[in-house]
Amino acid sequence: MDKQDILLARQPIYDENQTIVAYELLFRESGEAPIEGFDGNRATSHVLLNLFTESDLATVTGGLPAFINFTSELLQDPPLFDPHSIVIEVLEDIDMTDPVVASIKSLKQKGYSIALDDFVMVDRYKRVLAFIDIIKLELPELDDEALQNIIKALEPYDVKLLAEKIETPEQFKRCRELGCHMFQGYFLSKPEIIKGTKLAANKLAVVSLISEINAPEVDIPSLTKTITSDPALSFKLLKLINSAAYRRRNEIDSIHQAVTLLGLQKIKSWASLLALSKLDDKPQSLHNLALIRALMCEQLAEHIAPNEKDRFYTVGLLSCLDAFFDQDIQQILKTISLEARIKAALLDFEGSAGLALRTVISFEQSKWQQIDWQTLAQHQLTDKDINEIFYDCSCLALEILGD
């Protein structure tokens, strides 16, 4: 089965430093209805069995471990994965029967890491806790007292705690302070807003730089001047243009040459990406998220509005501005000179670029039902196409940022 036949989303799992240490993979088969009745956590086992060879799995996860949900049947008849490539996630509704317990013990002995999903401290789990490596806790269902009680009860066991469905930076900090080791949720793409606090000087400089780069009236001479006045930005841009990800026959050795050869819009897009990279207080995973969104929006533009790929790229890239600057995006956009259509897409998902951005974010977060499949179909975009774009752009982002 080709990767195009599988609709795949990967949800990052972070450590205490907000570094991605694994991905949870969620699937559905492409022939299924994309809106009603799909539960990504309970994808059928034959999808897993037919999807991945070892090399495909490594490509999707960038070589990091993949958390994969196992049904009772799959536990007792597992596929042949490299034990270091996956974490077996035991779903909360699986009965701890003698065969299931025996299978978990056997998989542990073979070197697999085992995680328990949506854990609660009940008697049925006591039979397997000695074989468990990771406990997943659904934090919206647990207050501080309940979390502390579970942590205390698990002290005799050698397990790591993974807090899932973390939606805000505040929840992330709370769970980290209470003893969790790994974290899953959309907190990374949300701003940590502190009311009444102004942007630090370095962030103000980046906002100003992005504003100058993306000003609607900017031309080639003024953009060249803006970039060359910042030595670090100039160096990074030339390095990116000449990197393996953008293979060229002849090396580009000046910003003027780059702008002239590649065009105003493309240089604006890349310069904006590199301007955000000056924010060294943000984790690399946020830069990766922003770049994947930009690349996906750019690819969607080929179907929706082929002449506007650079605008779509900019919309995707700037969709994480609130997380980068820890301010509401409406406030940030008041200080940046942007084309009206870009602002409308960022604020309200308006227009064709807004359609692309909503599609990308919904796919990224496995919210299949929020994707406007009907409108996408009018642009000859299928679920297979979206999946292919996500797969390819994720790989390209790793290549670009890893160069």
* Angle, CA of 108, 109 and 115, to the nearest 5°: 5
Residues 230 and 106 in one domain: no
Are residues 259 and 166 part of one domain? no
Average the pLDDT over 5-22 and give the result: 81
Of 189, 215, 240, the position where a domain reaches its end is 189
Residue 83 lies in a domain: yes
Q: Of the candidates 158, 189, 220, which is a domain's last residue? A: 189
Statement to judge: residues 162 and 285 lie in one domain: no
pLDDT in tens, 271-317: 888 888 888 788 888 888 999 999 999 999 999 999 999 899 999 99
Q: Residue 108: which CATH number? A: 3.20.20.450
Give yes or no: residues 102 and 141 share one domain. Answer: yes
Asked if 206 and 269 sit in the same domain, the reply is: yes
Cα–Cα dist 301/102, whole Å: 51
Whether 195 is in a domain gets the answer: no
- Do 329 and 287 lie in a common domain? yes
Boundary-marking domain end, from 189, 212, 233: 189
- Residue 308 CA to its chain's centroid (Å): 24
Both 263 and 297 in a single domain? yes
Tell me the pLDDT tens digit for each residue of 162-174: 999 888 888 888 8
Residue 398: domain span:
201-402
Per residue in 341-395, pLDDT (tens digit) is 999 999 999 999 999 999 999 988 878 788 999 999 999 998 888 988 988 898 8
Claim to verify: residue 234 and residue 184 sit in the same structural domain: no
Indicate the pTM of the whole model.
Answer: 0.79
Is 196 part of a structural domain of the chain? Answer: no
- Total count of domains within the chain: 2
Tens of pLDDT along 85-129? 889 998 877 888 899 999 999 999 999 999 998 887 777 788 888
**Is the same domain home to 67 and 159?**
yes
Using an 8 Å Cβ cutoff, are 259 and 228 in contact? no
Q: Domain for residue 81, yes or no? A: yes
In a domain, 208, yes or no: yes
| Amino acid symbol at 385 | D
- Rounded-to-integer distance, Cα 301 and Cα 358, Å: 13
Residue 233 and residue 89 share a domain? no
Examine the domain organization and report whether 140 and 237 are in the same domain. no
Residue 291 lies in a domain: yes
**Residue 4: band (very low, low, confident or very high) from pLDDT cuts 50, 70, 90:** very low
Let me know if residue 194 belongs to a domain.
no
pLDDT at 1: 35
Q: Who has greater pLDDT, 331 or 356?
A: 356
CATH number at residue 357: 1.10.3210.10
SS3 annotation, the chain: CCHHHEEEEEEEEECCCCCEEEEEEEEEECCCCCCCCCCHHHCCHHHHHHHCCHHHHHHHHCCCCEEEEECHHHHHCCCCCCCCCEEEEECCCCCCCHHHHHHHHHHHHCCCEEEECCCCCCHHHCCCHHHCCEEEEEHHHCCHHHHHHHHHHCCCCCCEEEEEEECCHHHHHHHHHCCCCEEEECHHHCCCCCCCCCCCHHHHHHHHHHHHHHCCCCCHHHHHHHHHCCHHHHHHHHHHHCCHHHCCCCCCCCHHHHHHHHCHHHHHHHHHHHHHCCCCCCCHHHHHHHHHHHHHHHHHHHHHCHHHHHHHHHHHHHCCHHHHHCCCHHHHHCCCCCCHHHHHHHHHCCHHHHHHHHHHHHHHCCCHHHCCHHHHHHCCCCHHHHHHHHHHHHHHHHHHHHC
Do residues 228 and 234 make contact, with C-beta atoms less than 8 angstroms apart?
Answer: yes
> Does 356 lie in the same domain as 219?
yes
- 61 to each of 9, 52, 208, 392, how far by Cα in Å? 11, 12, 35, 12
Q: Measuring CA to CA, how many Å separate 372 from each of 204, 290, 362? A: 36, 22, 10
In whole angstroms, what is the distance from residue 194 CA to residue 207 CA? 18
The pLDDT value recorded for residue 303 is 96
Q: What is the pLDDT of residue 199?
A: 65
In a domain, 108, yes or no: yes
